[in-house]
A = this chain, B = another copy of it.
Amino acid sequence: MLDQRKSAILQALVNEFITTAQPVGSSHIKTDTALDVSTATIRTELSQLEKEGYLVKPHTSAGRIPSDKGYRYFVDHLTKPGSLGPAQKQEVKHFFASSHAAIEALLQNTSKLLSRMTNNVGVVIGSLPDTTIIKAVQLLYSSEFSATLIFILSSADVEKIEINFLNHITESDIEKLSALLSSKSINIPLKSFLTSIPVQPENLEFEPMLRDIENAFKAYYSPSNELNDIKSSHLYVDGTSHIAESFEAIETVKNILEILEQQFVIVSLLRDVLDRGLSVSIGSENGLESLANCSLVVTPYTVDGTTVGSIGILGPTRMKYSEALATVAIIGNELSERLSKEGQTN
């Protein structure tokens, strides 16, 4: 824990660095703070803060830059939750009040909103396979040898799986099968879908088709499939252009874009946060070389009290945390509310 003066200095330094992106020297801090001490005193303080790992010097005769530890302290102890201006609150309210016919569009637009309001990359992760429950099942006839299996999930997502049948099927077969599946599988977790349709005496005639469905389902959710996470929990990203604004080095930009393309990486980062609530992951805490200069501000969102996904922003470590935290928090809340209200998904 830092004493009052060190705190004030660290806070001023971080704030200054966030806005200017330049190393901060002792004299700047003197003007920024109300501290009535000389720059020499500030310098000794700075050098101690550096010794303790909160600050870093790019080179001998430069000002200081916050280290990840410095940012961490800043976020944990020196950042008030922050509140949005009325105009911005209005923007969020208006966004969620306006209609978004499809859930996918809502989530996609939510990532856009996050991005636009914070000038960072907006990220939204929908549906968590472990917790989602089947709210409706429907099998739709496509052709003599294929049909589409559709799940509507508690997370408000829709999953659809193409089924190819080995044997000839009829529309009436499919209808009966569909009814059968509905009767057995509603309100159980998606991951238990298979066990919910054991072969019973009365549906022996459907056994081969059920076998086909089983195979398609297994293939779709095969854990060996790296894309599985993406398929079963959609990721919506927007505002990638902001990272080109935030970083000078084109190499850095490239690396971050690559990470964003490997969606499962982001997905797992966002998942970590589910039981932690609103939280910040700073630089090296992300555990990824490529994201060493990035921070994530993430919060889970809920549907009817159950956590179903998370939203967040990805930006440079020198982001406006207070603003970011406030924005992510409010959008998370409004999204939860929007998804829960009107019983749309129950």
Contacts and interface: CB of A to CB of B under 8 A. Distances in A.
A: contact size bracket: 35 or more
A180 interface: no
A142 B250 contact: no
A245 to B, nearest CB: 6
A110 interface: no
A78 interface: no
Contacts of A257: 240-241, 244
A223 interface: no
Contact of A142 (B109, B161, B255, B346): B346
Contact of A250 (B145, B238, B253, B261): B253
Contact of A145 (B248, B255, B343): B343
Contacts of A240: 240, 257, 260-261
B162 A140 contact: no
Contacts of A193: none
Contact of A146 (B148, B164, B250, B344): B344
A194 interface: no
Interface stretch (A14-22, A96-104, A294-302): A96-104
B219 A161 contact: no
A245 B241 contact: no
Contacts of A220: 101-102
A57 to B, nearest CB: 26
A22 B54 CA distance: 45
Given A250-B248, A254-B241, A162 B216 contact: no
Contact of A343 (B140, B142, B247, B261): B142
A345 interface: yes
A135 to B, nearest CB: 7
Contacts of A260: 240
A144 interface: yes
A162 B102 contact: yes
A101 B161 contact: yes
Interface string A118-148: 0000000000000000011010111111101
Nearest to A346: B143
A344 B142 CA distance: 6
B253 A239 contact: no
19 contacts: A101-B231, A102-B159, A102-B231, A135-B142, A136-B148, A138-B138, A140-B152, A142-B343, A142-B344, A143-B346, A144-B343, A145-B343, A239-B261, A241-B254, A244-B250, A244-B253, A248-B250, A250-B250, A253-B253
Given A105-B227, A241-B254, 17 more contacts: A99-B219, A109-B227, A136-B140, A136-B142, A136-B148, A138-B140, A140-B152, A143-B342, A143-B343, A143-B344, A162-B344, A164-B342, A164-B344, A240-B257, A244-B254, A245-B254, A247-B250
Which 5 A-B pairs rank lowest in CB-CB distance, beginning with the nearest?
A244-B254, A241-B257, A143-B343, A101-B220, A241-B258
